[in-house]
Amino acid sequence: MGHTFIRFDLARLPYFDADRQYDDTPSPVLEMRQTAGDSDLILISTPEYAHGIPGILKNGLEWLFCELTNKKRVVLVIGAAQGQWVKAHLLDVLPTMDFVLQEQDIFMVQGLRAKIQASGITDPDLQHKFAEFLQQAVR
């Protein structure tokens, strides 16, 4: 059974504007929402930034929140020195936005800089654990 991963570039989104959330919604937002709504799950991969959620991700989540993503399952990959801050924030924010996030759907990569390079994962143990996590996540 194959799986398709669709990457969405959050930098394409304008700054969130609550007045345009449901009326006169920008086309990149509508595209992202439709893609997410048609998907079995949403995989979010994020670093921890200043003990929290990077601004670009928070902006993307604000736009993504809509009836198409109501109760949509989220799988989370966090890469950081520790990562506990962004994990705690996302465990709070995502359910508030009606996304479903469970503890078993979170993969933490601590000490990220020593294990991943631009060419990919350099730590064989991490490669194996990440592959197992993804197989379980797309069950």
Architecture of domain 10-137: 3-Layer(aba) Sandwich (3.40)
Q: 120: part of which helix (H) or strand (E)?
A: strand 120-121
Q: Where are the domains of the chain?
A: 10-137
| pLDDT tens digit sequence for 25-75 | 999 999 999 999 999 999 999 998 888 899 999 999 999 999 999 999 999
Q: What is the pLDDT of residue 84?
A: 86
Q: What residue type is assigned to position 35 of the chain? A: T
* Helix runs in 12-123, H state only: 27-38, 55-64, 84-96
Which residue in 78, 89, 74 sits closest to 45, CA to CA?
78
